[in-house]
Chains A and B, each alone.
Chain A
Amino acid sequence: MTEELHDVRLDVNGTAYDVRVPARRLLSDALRHDLGLTGTHVGCEHGVCGSCTVLLDGAPVRACLVLAVSVSGQRVTTVEGLTRPDGSLGPVQQAFAECHGLQCGFCTPGFLTTITAGLRDNPAPTHDEAREMVAGNLCRCTGYQNIVRAVERAAELAATEGRP
């Protein structure tokens, strides 16, 4: 029996994509395999690690816990969408580079999207708030020290630039 396919429209990083996928296709897989946007990483597929975090209509969600078919028509921002149109790094990305906030880089996209939204909601976090902002994402390499510093640095950079 052939599995039924569904027409799904995803607005990802400002570009509209039309794909036909089975109902069971996870958003993480749709982004990676159907759209070729491999910046979103899959670390656990049960919603714990946060590597696949993307912004859905601006809010961070686990792409592995969302069915693509269920969010048709919605706006998705992935790590690829955080780079500026001129190719330069956004403040959160820049802060990660400055603070050595990444090592293997696998979990990094999930941190970047989470922090981007976090700083939008709270542009000047205290140290504890900066730590809390990344508390739902696992990193096996960095011990989080420099990630928390990067949150604080990103807030500084964004404040200087006047935008997150």
Chain B
Amino acid sequence: MTTKLMGQGVQRVEDQRFLRGHGRYVDDVAVDPATLHAAVLRSPHAHARILDVDVDAVLDLEGVHLVWTHEDLAGLSAPMADPLPLLIPHPTLTHGRTQHALAAGEVNYAGEAVAFVVADDRYVAEDALDRIRVTYDVLPPVVGIEAARAADRLVHDDVPGNVAARMVQETGDAPAAIAAAPHRLALDLTVERSASTPLEGRGTVARWDPDVGRLTVWTSTQSSTGVRAAVAVKLGLDLGQVDVITPDVGGGFGVKINHPWPEELLVPLAARALGRTVKFTEDRREHFVSSAHERGQVHHVEVGFDDDGRLLGLDVEFWHDHGAYIPYGLIVPIITSTQLLGPYKPAVYRVAFESLYTNTVMVTPYRGAGRPQGCFVMERTMDAIARYLGKDRAEVRAANFIQPDEFPFDQGLVFQDGRELEYDSGDYPASLEKIKTLIGWDDFPTFRKAMAEQGRRVGIGLACYVEGTGVGPYEGAHVHVETTGKVKVATGLTTQGQGHATVFAQLVADELGVRFEDVEVVTGDTRRMPYAVGTFASRAAVMSGSAIHLAATRTREKVLRIAAEALEADEQDLEIVDGVVSVKGSPGTSLDLGTIAVLSNPLRYAFDEASKAATQFSVGDPGRPPVPEDDEPGLEGRDFYSPERATFASGMHAVIVETDPDAAEVRILKYAVVHDCGRLINPMIVEGQIHGGVAQGVAGALYERMVYDEAGQLQNASFMDFLMPYATEIPDGIDIDHLETPSPLNPLGIKGAGEAGVIPSAAVFAAAIEDAERIPITAMPISPSELFHLRQEHTR
């Protein structure tokens, strides 16, 4: 009997390429002296009108092939005159604005694309940028939420108050419930900007084949099909003329879900115009100022609660800084506003937010996508209630938990996918017990006392979250058994290091009964699966995993049908093990999948020994059509998975920190995670996702931020000053425990796991530092310098 691979920590198949240096990232495509290289001139100003762009000096430069400004684009393709798409419209997004591929008369952030150059190599392309002379009329910028709210100045003249959208959701009269509650608190909570910052930036390569009138685009994206549709529309091509291939991607973390980036249109346009392969590889400085950021929000909380800390009314108002443009709609603040509730069930909840324009880099989802802020708000509120009541922080949380017998639990709100916010399953009390054990919650007072005797200051924090994962609309899969018995699987969403080639092969091997080694998975290639959405919102395993499982089921059905006929056996009596179908109990009677694939496709022509068996004089009933009416040739299965709503993963993190009484440095002594993503496909990979998420969370809590000055200049646009942690800054060891409450919404019972590790970090570190310092922590991230000043203010 073959062991099921679901649940096994199978080693990754993709590693073999990566470890040999044979990964194929977008900058590795078309490495050829004939390939031309693009560079983009970016605005040095946060807010300015463009009076003139003088490119005359550029074309004299040897090796330059093309220079474009906005004025050149419409002539090449009419839709290029318009702004880039607003990808996710929403009725409350009354003032949505997006940028142009190249700025049309005005720039609204330092880094906005102004001109585009193609040259023999990137060195010469950058020389060319140095020769472009732009005359700007510099305008005062709007930087930060306070300035945006004050609206003394406007980012876009036609957007009053800098407000793109105002949205309210409520489950009842929260202000009245709060007013009537025995206890009330108000909190102001801030989270600063940060960014995904994958080690590979963005990049696009395009090749136009004039012989077949077809464009091939390789791009480092989280949505191949999205880029394909955008390129087709903007270049005036039929969808069928555009192939988008997402090669290996050096990390995404959200930033590559936005599309099309200006270069994803300009590079194909240039490839078509020049008849040459053109490549753009974003450099690190560009990534900081021209790719997207996230996280910046200011929140005001009013809460009413009873003597046990139960939430009787919760009223949250927050302001979301979405930067200069809003191509990705309101996804991030909608997620904050809904996912803020976590595992809790306030009696009445009201949330309102405004999404604000500022003259800074635009905001699109970054791993966690609004949840880290929501979790920070809710968990800070829980801690404040516990402190106010003098109760244990874990106890106050437990008093508010949705109970295991209350699922499905409808929170009474509309989620980011337009569907009801209804939790499918979970067991929060069990998670709490696990995390308390893992971190040593009950023993901590003793530890604190022992440390205090040595003059050392420690604190403990706890944070809980719920994460809607696997949002729709759908993903699809295609499974094809070749006559060699090898199985080729295609799904349309992309891969950025999550090990899809491995976990999806595990699912197929299990369902189809083939050897894991015989399954090959392709992702993100519109030639292989043109119907797909993308990789975001921890949805790949849930969506494509389910679709692949269903497609493999269909393939299995066909295998059994053909085999039953060939073996003259009942389908019920057949089993498939290691790619061989046999009658249970009579191992002598068998067919391998390759042979069944041959039989599935009636042939006129033989081209090898195996195919002879499928030719017209060898098989088939002369009295029936070779392919039955309700069948198709080939051993294939294709299916789609489209769930009614998202599935809700959950988890809890706890940390023990030590704060240096003199230098105010924060040291992590112990970090623990309890994680419930339903059934695990590959625990090794899930733990890897958690490790990475925790590291990114530590980064966001203690190290990383985007520092803008008043002029809207990003002050730390390099890895020197944007402090992405090294191994030395990340806890040495992360204790992880799993809980598996299967999702009833998909055939495998799985929930998403990709983002979870990062969600509670700001909350859990704020809690632990507050516990160590006995100073309220209301803004994250926090640096030693800031902690030092908090101490000064507190002792004053």
A contacting B, Cβ–Cβ less than 8 Å = yes
The chain A residues found within 8 Å of chain B, CB to CB, are 1-2, 22, 24-25, 32-33, 36-46, 48-49, 51, 78-80, 82-83, 89, 93, 96-98, 100, 102-109, 112, 127, 131-132, 134-148
Would you give the shortest CB distance from B20 to chain A, in whole angstroms?
5
B692 touches A141 (CB 8 A): yes
Question: Which B residues are within 8 Å of any A CB, using their own CB?
Answer: 9, 11-12, 14-25, 27-28, 31, 62, 121, 123, 197-200, 248-251, 253, 283-284, 496-499, 684-685, 687-688, 690-696, 718-720, 724, 726-728, 730, 732-734, 757
Select A106's contact among B15, B25, B283, B733, beta carbons within 8 Å.
B25
Chain A residue at minimum C-beta to C-beta distance from B19:
A93
Asked if B726 contacts A136 (CB within 8 A), the reply is yes
Give, as a whole number of angstroms, the nearest-CB distance from B680 to chain A.
Answer: 14
Main secondary structure of the interface of B (DSSP, over half): loop
In the bound complex, residues from chain A placing their C-beta under 8 Å from that of B498 are 103
How distant is B756 from chain A, measured CB to nearest CB, in Å? 13
Inter-chain contact B251/A112, CB cutoff 8 Å: no
Q: Is the CB of B726 within 8 A of A137?
A: yes
Nearest A residue to B367, CB-CB: A140
Which of B15, B496, B720 has the most A CB atoms < 10 Å from its CB? B15
Q: Is the CB of B31 within 8 A of A48?
A: no
CB pair B692 A43 closer than 8 Å = no
Instruction: Tell me if A143 and B19 are in contact (CB < 8 A).
Output: no
Which residue on B lies nearest to A38, using beta carbons? B28
| Contacts A141-B497, A142-B692 given; does A42 touch B18 at CB 8 Å | no
Give chain B residues whose Cβ lies under 8 Å from the Cβ of A43: 199-200, 250, 284
The distance in angstroms between the C-alpha atoms of A82 and B21, with both chains bound, is: 9
A103 closest partner in B (C-beta): B497
Beta-carbon contact of A79 and B20 below 8 Å: yes
A83 with B20: CB separation less than 8 A: yes
Q: Is the CB of B15 within 8 A of A105?
A: yes
Q: Nearest Cβ in chain B — how far from A113, in angstroms?
A: 10
Return chain B residues, CB-CB under 8 Å to A143.
Answer: 690-696, 730, 734, 757
In the complex, what residues of A have CB within 8 A of residue B499's CB?
A: 103
Query: Can you list 13 contacts pairing A with B, beta carbon distance less than 8 Å?
Result: A37-B21, A38-B27, A41-B200, A44-B718, A48-B720, A97-B19, A102-B15, A104-B200, A105-B18, A106-B199, A141-B692, A142-B692, A146-B688
Task: Decide: A93 and B720 in contact? CB cutoff 8 A.
Answer: no
Given A104-B200, A106-B250, 18 other A-B residues pairs in contact with their CB atoms under 8 A: A38-B25, A38-B27, A42-B27, A43-B200, A79-B19, A97-B12, A97-B16, A103-B688, A103-B692, A105-B17, A105-B250, A138-B719, A139-B199, A140-B724, A144-B695, A145-B730, A146-B688, A147-B727
Query: How far apart are the CA atoms of A103 and B249 in the complex, in Å?
Result: 10
Give, as a whole number of angstroms, the nearest-CB distance from A101 to chain B: 9
Q: Which B residues are in CB contact (< 8 Å) with A127?
A: 732
Known: A33-B31, A98-B11, A141-B251. A24 touches B123 (CB 8 A): yes
A interface SS class: loop
Q: Which residues of A contact B121 (CB under 8 A)?
A: 33
Q: Is A41's CB under 8 angstroms from B31's CB? A: no
- What CA separation (Å) do A49 and B497 show in the bound complex? 18
Contacts of B732 in A (CB 8 A): 127, 131, 148
**Do the beta carbons of B199 and A102 come within 8 Å of each other?**
no
Asked whether A46 lies within 8 Å of B719 as measured between CB atoms, the reply is yes
A96: contacting residue among B15, B248, B250, CB under 8 A: B15
Interface centre among A24, A127, A139 (most CB of B within 10 A): A139
Q: Which of B11, B199, B688 contacts A138 (CB 8 A)?
A: B199
Q: Which residue of A lies closest to B721 (CB)?
A: A48
Partner of B727, one of A2, A40, A103, A148: A148
**Chain A residues, CB < 8 A from B197:** 140
Instruction: Verify B691–A140 contact, CB threshold 8 A.
Output: no
Residues from chain A with Cβ under 8 Å of B19 in the complex: 79, 83, 89, 93, 96-97, 102, 105, 108, 112
Q: A98 CA to B684 CA in the complex, in Å?
A: 10
Which residues of A sit under 8 angstroms from B718, Cβ to Cβ?
44, 46, 48
B25 partner, pick from A41, A93, A145, A146, beta carbons under 8 A: A41
**Residue numbers in B under 8 Å from A37 (CB-CB):** 21
Residues of A within 8 A of B21 (CB): 37-40, 78-80, 82-83, 109
Taking the closest CB of chain B, its distance from the CB of A87, in whole angstroms, is 9
**Cβ of A41: which chain B residues have Cβ within 8 Å of it?**
25, 199-200, 250
A100 touches B685 (CB 8 A): yes
Residue of A100, A106, A147 touching B684 (CB-CB under 8 A) = A100
Identify the interface centre among B18, B200, B728, B730: most chain A CB within 10 Å of its CB. B18
The 8 Å CB contact of A135, one of B284, B688, B727, is: B727
A148 CB contacts on chain B under 8 angstroms: 727, 732
List the A side residues contacting B11 at CB < 8 Å: 97-98, 100
- Cα A118 to Cα B193 with chains together (Å): 36
Q: What residues on A are CB-neighbors of B726 within 8 Å?
A: 135-138, 144
In the assembled complex, the Cα of A37 lies from the Cα of B692 at a distance in Å of 28
Residues from chain B with Cβ under 8 Å of A48 in the complex = 718-720
Cα distance, A151 to B299, chains bound together (Å) = 44
Contacts of A145 in B (CB 8 A): 691, 730, 733-734
Q: How far is the CA of A1 from the CA of B61 in the complex (A)?
A: 8
Smallest distance from the beta carbon of A62 to chain B beta carbons, Å?
12
Closest 10 CB pairs of A and B: A39-B21, A104-B497, A106-B250, A105-B18, A143-B695, A143-B691, A103-B497, A48-B719, A79-B21, A38-B28
- Select the residue from A105, A109, A112 with max chain B CB neighbours within 10 A: A105
Q: Please, which residues of chain A bring their CB within 8 A of the CB of B734?
A: 143, 145
Give which listed residue, B23, B24, B691, B719, contacts A49 with CB less than 8 A.
B719
Tell me, in angstroms, the Cα distance from A37 to B31 when the chains sit together.
9
A44 and B284 contact, CB distance less than 8 A: yes
Tell me the smallest distance from the CB of A107 to a CB of chain B, in Å. 5
